[in-house]
Structure 1
Amino acid sequence: MDYVVTAELEPPVEASDLDPLQREGVAALLDRQLALVEGVSGPAEADIDVLDYRITVHPNGASVVLALDAPGLLPAEEAAAMVLNELIGESELLVGWSVAHSEVRITEDEFNQSLAAAEAVGRDAGDTGLEAAVEEALESAGEEESSLDTEHWRIKLDELAGGLRAFDLDVFGTSSPQTARLAAGALIHAVRVVTDEIFYDELALAVNNASADDAVGLLVLEELPPCYEHRYDAWFARAFLLSSAAVAARLTEPSWTPPRTVAEALALRLFINEAQVLLEAAELMSWEDGEPVFAAFAGKAFAGTDHEDLYLVDFMALEDSPDAMSARLEEQFRERGLTFDQWFEPRDTGTGMHPYLHRTSDDSTDL
């Protein structure tokens, strides 16, 4: 007999407000783990097959819909809870998570009605009917949550919008005050997200004495230009954190000071990208609608600070005389102040430089 079971997974209390990137990570992790599960042993050693699943992650946890072939309603609910508890127990990244409840949302009769309806319109009753039943359960379980989630973020971003004091809202080039406030609030929230992610990446690189080109699971440093990823080590992460903090602080000041260094420009780019990700994930502004809004902001905020060309080349992937080609590109970048060792140097020679950013040949031994 086929049952569709909905289970709610809850994170630990201290992580109960998942941001969009964290939600994507949880969804990817659950999907990867559930894809490996074919079945579970139920009561009296009965085999219970996992036929299909759907995952929806929201700020307060995750909803998982499982389609199971089980001998009864209670075994189906117990099997779903067992699968998810084992999944949580085997993943170090889900420590502290728990299964809040597991219940059948579509009974055998309702499921059969769905199959009959599928047959009536000439579809395949086995696979397509099952998929329709799972989608029905997912929609009924997630529709209300999605609506609440969107409204939650609308209110939160509106409250945060006032934190962007360095610019008037017309910097976003939109005639809609609501759109501009959402964009402003998203930028302020993005600062928090990116800052946390840099801390995480620094720890991962320091513990493993690694650089970004051989590290796995980094959250934000992988979004920097790939041409220098072999230089993104723990020292760099700490230095980049100082640069991002400087930009973040200036966003909240009464007037705007454009990025003074390449590193600051890259940090601002990360803030903008994270803001767009958040608005799209919260279903408040699609990526397409957000592009002109944040392009208008970028046009004023960067004030010509050069950095875009760093994303157009990968030194490590050059095939045609890579050493000579890299040397030539490096020299061109140096003339424009874009080489890695110039990233933390202020363009304005009259501007001071944080002492930590003066890296010497001995700094690599401090890790």
Structure 2
Amino acid sequence: MDYAVTAELEPPTGVVEFDPLQKEGIAAVLDRQLALVEGVSGPGDTEIDVLDYRITVHATGANVVLALEAPSLLAAEDAAASVLDELISESEALVGWSVAHSEVRITEDEFNERLAAADVDTDGELEAAVEEALEAGVEPTMDLEHWRAHLTGLAPQLRAFDLDVFGIAGEPAALAAGALIHAVRVVTDEVFYDELALAVNNASVADVEGLLVLEELPTCYDHRYDAFFARAFLLASAAVAVRFTEPGWTPPRSVAEAFALQLFINEARVLLEAAELMTWEDSEQVFAAFAGRAFADTEYEELYEVDLPLTDAEPERAERVAKVETDLHARGLAFDQWFTPRDGGPGVHPYLGII
């Protein structure tokens, strides 16, 4: 039988409240660990499968919902607690955390009722019923007014800029600012997803389909975007995100940081359109004004115009590839220069120094 178990995770004693960036980091760590879990041993050496999960990080902890296939309600609760206890013990980022409680949200009778109501007779319908059970009791998708309140509430975190940076005033400017802050979480999570997919497949973006964000980078270097690159890019994007919250703005210091900033902008525009708070055409003008102040330069965009893979090529293309690489290197845009500071300031994170 399938059960949805909800568990509350508590941080170490003394933690008062998480800020938005800490929430994003905690959610990313939990997601990364849970994505690797397929099952756990239950009573009598039975195998309990983990079907799906949901993560919600709030100001004082985290809520995790696990969909499990287990022989009984008690076994499901014990299995969920076991999975989360092991996850915490194996993660350095979660030292001091604990499982406060673990309980079934959807009972067997309720689940059977959902199955009967859905008239389940195929695997696809069963999966849909499990999904419906998981969603029961979960906070509903926010409507337009909730998104409006959510984004305007996030706007003050964009301390590096005055709202006039968007070329508009009032609530629309606040919505744009809040969308940028929200985009940080989305893009960060998506980089984690992509890194996991690349690591599991020991592949690059050129070899994997269905990635969430890294495939938005210039295709000429798709063969260079592997799991190691994804981890390095995450550090670069985190540096940009932190500077959003500082009192003064420091433009992207490297090519990688410039691309991270552009991805935040892209996601902010997608969100505003999806929430029906700003049309795509209107957001183009708004974020063009923002980009004019936020970027030190936009040379990095030229990489999107490179129309061939910059990799080992057939003899007839090798000369052209070499010429393009030489030109990019002269302008500081070659892949091996992406994480090198272009402003002559302090060095980079040691992890980025070996990319």
- The answer to whether the superposition gives a TM-score over 0.5 is yes
Confirm or deny that 1:356 pairs with 2:351: yes
State the shift of 1:80 in Å. 7.9
Letter of the aligned partner of 1:151 in structure 2? Answer: E
Match of 1:190 in 2: 183
Match of 1:151 in 2: 145
Confirm or deny that 1:316 pairs with 2:309: yes
State the shift of 1:207 in Å. 1.0
Confirm or deny that 1:292 pairs with 2:285: yes
Distance (Å, rounded) in 2 between the aligned partners of 1:247 and 1:227: 24
Letter of the aligned partner of 2:326 in structure 1? Answer: E
Letter of the aligned partner of 2:158 in structure 1? Answer: L
Match of 1:172 in 2: 166
Matched-pair contact (CA < 8 Å) for 2:206–2:223? yes
Which of the numbers 236, 239, 254 marks the counterpart of 2:229?
Answer: 236
Match of 1:259 in 2: 252
State the shift of 1:321 in Å. 4.1
- CA-to-aligned-CA distance 1:193-240 (integer Å, 9 cap, x gap): 000111111111111101001112211100111110100000000000
Matched-pair contact (CA < 8 Å) for 1:259–1:305? no
Distance (Å, rounded) in 2 between the aligned partners of 1:151 and 1:239: 37
Match of 2:123 in 1: 86
Helix, strand or coil: the match of 1:14?
A: strand
Greater fraction of residues in helix: 1
1:45-60 pair list within 5 angstroms: none
Change (3 A) 1:230 1:100: closer
Distance (Å, rounded) in 1 between the aligned partners of 2:333 and 2:353: 17
Match of 1:114 in 2: none
Change (3 A) 1:289 1:228: same
Structure 2: gaps spanning 5 or more residues: 1-50, 58-113
Confirm or deny that 1:161 pairs with 2:118: no
- CA-to-aligned-CA distance 1:52-89 (integer Å, 9 cap, x gap): xxxxxxxxxxxxxxxxxxxxxxxxx9898246973264
- CA-to-aligned-CA distance 1:246-297 (integer Å, 9 cap, x gap): 0000011000000000000000000000000000000111111100000000
Matched-pair contact (CA < 8 Å) for 1:211–1:233? yes
Confirm or deny that 1:334 pairs with 2:329: yes
Letter of the aligned partner of 1:327 in structure 2? Answer: A
Distance (Å, rounded) in 2 between the aligned partners of 1:95 and 1:243: 40
Letter of the aligned partner of 2:131 in structure 1? Answer: W
State the shift of 1:15 in Å. 5.0
Helix, strand or coil: the match of 2:268?
A: helix
Matched-pair contact (CA < 8 Å) for 2:120–2:126? no
Change (3 A) 1:212 1:96: farther
Helix, strand or coil: the match of 2:289?
A: helix
Helix, strand or coil: the match of 1:307?
A: helix
Distance (Å, rounded) in 2 between the aligned partners of 1:324 and 1:95: 57
Helix, strand or coil: the match of 2:341?
A: coil
Match of 1:97 in 2: 131
Change (3 A) 1:316 1:79: farther
Match of 1:31 in 2: none
Helix, strand or coil: the match of 1:269?
A: helix
Letter of the aligned partner of 2:290 in structure 1? Answer: F
Matched-pair contact (CA < 8 Å) for 2:179–2:271? yes
Change (3 A) 1:358 1:79: same
Matched-pair contact (CA < 8 Å) for 2:118–2:125? no
RMSD over aligned CA atoms reads: 3.0
Matched-pair contact (CA < 8 Å) for 1:161–1:182? yes
Distance (Å, rounded) in 2 between the aligned partners of 1:284 and 1:16: 24
1:195-234 pair list within 5 angstroms: 195-234=188-227
Matched-pair contact (CA < 8 Å) for 2:180–2:264? yes
Matched-pair contact (CA < 8 Å) for 1:88–1:97? no
What is the count of residue pairs matched by the alignment?
Answer: 243
State the shift of 1:13 in Å. 7.5
Helix, strand or coil: the match of 1:245?
A: helix
Larger radius of gyration: 1
Match of 1:25 in 2: none
State the shift of 1:100 in Å. 8.4
State the shift of 1:322 in Å. 2.4
Distance (Å, rounded) in 1 between the aligned partners of 2:121 and 2:53: 19
Match of 1:346 in 2: 341
Matched-pair contact (CA < 8 Å) for 2:159–2:244? yes
Letter of the aligned partner of 1:223 in structure 2? Answer: E
Letter of the aligned partner of 2:123 in structure 1? Answer: E
Distance (Å, rounded) in 1 between the aligned partners of 2:233 and 2:132: 35
Percent identical = 63
1:63-82 pair list within 5 angstroms: 81-82=118-119
Matched-pair contact (CA < 8 Å) for 2:115–2:129? no
Change (3 A) 1:79 1:298: same
